[in-house]
Each structure stands twice: as C-alpha cells, then as structure tokens.
C-alpha cells in the first residue's frame, strides 16, 4: 500500500506585518503568503507551516494570521491539512479574490474571517464568482467581508452595483471601500457615495488603504 504524500505549497515566507487591507486593517498579523511567479519561494509541507506558525506565535504577540498572496484558495487542501493537524492559536483569515467559491465550504471551519478583495474596475465574471464565494461563506455561518479597492477608472455606479449584489447574496457581509490614495481628498464625492451606499447596505466602512509593504499582502 502506497503512503499518502502530503501536499506542499510554495510560500514567500511567513512574515510579520501590519494588515494594509480590509476589515482587519491596522492589525499586526502573521502573513502566510503564497508566492507569485516572480517571488522567491520556499516549499512548505503542512507540518512545516504548522511548526513555523507555532514558533512565531510563541515569540511575539499578534492579532491573527492572514492567508493571502497568489491564489490562496487554490491551496485549500494544503491549508486544510496544516490547520487540521494542529489548529493555530490565533484567528485565521483568508484574503482572496473570491474566484474559487467551490473551495470555501471545506476550509470555512478553520476561519475566523473570509475576505474577498476586488481591485480596480469590477469585471462582471469576476464579480459573479466573488459573490458566489461570499454566499458560500454565509452558508457556512462564517464572518465574511467584501473589500472594494476601485481605481481612477471605476465609477461610483459600478461600485454601488457590486455592493447591491453583495447585499442580496448576504445581508451580513461587512463591506470595506478603499478609495484611491490620490482620491481621498475628494470629500464631497465620497460623502455622496456613502450616502448612496448606506441606502443599499448597513455595514459599510470607507477607509484609506495602508501603503505596502506595511501589510505585506
């Protein structure tokens, strides 16, 4: 009988940092970052990740663990094995683009927060899958958040349409809107936006995104 080989994952380390994005913005976290193609990566087994987290948690104080980087939900099986063998002593959040709704149910039991971040101008197909991911998190009875980070091409109408869809999918979703850094001084625009948005959904926060690499997202 062949032994079962545990999954492995390419991680860009497990750095400490301050969350720059979303619902837990400003929190000091440990970042489990799945490596992008251009990043230097280290191959981790689930046990190696569990041991690394345990060691780092013992050395300092953190609010939580942030799982992010390149397509973290593509590594759901790896995360299930890592967190299932030894539950982390800190709350765990996943911050993804929401494009793998099918992976949410199995991983949800390990999470304190499932967060979907949509950057730039909304693309209909991407929004559809992101909403499906939020629906899956709501069905699993897990706290969930939608983060919208528009750019200069994004209109208020486009943001409001996504917000409306998110509310229909889950009235409990927490929504964070990060205006473009160069647009944060446009007080009248964002005051008007918040007035309109508040008629669609009750839990909305307008927050400036922290500059990277503060959050090492």
Ranges of each domain in the chain: 9-206
pLDDT of 38 > 80? The answer is no
In this prediction, residues 94-122 reach a mean pLDDT of 96
| CB-CB contact of 10 with 35 (8 Å) | yes
Which pTM was predicted?
A: 0.92
Confidence band, pLDDT 50/70/90 cuts, at residue 171:
very high
CATH-assigned architecture of domain 9-206: Alpha-Beta Barrel (3.20)
Rounded to an integer, what distance in angstroms lies between the CA atom of residue 152 and that of residue 90? 37
Rounded to the nearest angstrom, the gap between the alpha carbon of residue 114 and the centroid of all alpha carbons in its chain is: 6
Helix (H) or strand (E) holding 16: strand 16-18
Confidence band, pLDDT 50/70/90 cuts, at residue 40:
confident
Rounded to an integer, what distance in angstroms lies between the CA atom of residue 203 and that of residue 194? 11
Report CA dihedral (65, 70, 71, 74) to the nearest 10 degrees: -90
In this prediction, residues 173-181 reach a mean pLDDT of 93
**Tens-digit pLDDT profile for residues 129-144:** 999 999 999 999 999 9
């Amino acid at each position: 009988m062949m032994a079962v080989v545990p999954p492995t994952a390419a991680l860009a380390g497990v750095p400490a940092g301050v969350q720059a994005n979303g619902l837990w913005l400003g929190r000091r976290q440990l970042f489990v970052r799945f490596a992008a193609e251009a990043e230097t990566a280290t191959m981790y087994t689930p046990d190696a990740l569990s041991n690394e987290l345990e060691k780092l948690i013992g050395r300092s104080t953190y609010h939580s663990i942030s799982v992010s980087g390149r397509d973290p939900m593509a590594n759901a099986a790896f995360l299930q094995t890592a967190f299932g063998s030894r539950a982390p002593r800190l709350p765990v959040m996943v911050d993804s683009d929401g494009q793998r709704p099918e992976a949410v149910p199995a991983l949800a039991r390990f999470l304190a927060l499932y967060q979907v971040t949509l950057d730039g101008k909304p693309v209909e197909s991407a929004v559809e899958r992101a909403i499906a991911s939020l629906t899956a998190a709501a069905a699993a009875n897990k706290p969930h958040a939608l983060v919208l980070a528009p750019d200069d091409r994004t209109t208020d109408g486009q943001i409001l349409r996504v917000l409306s869809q998110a509310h229909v999918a889950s009235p409990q979703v927490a929504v964070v809107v990060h205006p473009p850094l160069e647009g944060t001084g446009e007080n009248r625009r964002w005051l008007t936006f918040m007035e309109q948005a508040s008629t669609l959904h009750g839990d909305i926060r307008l927050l400036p995104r922290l500059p990277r690499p503060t959050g090492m997202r």
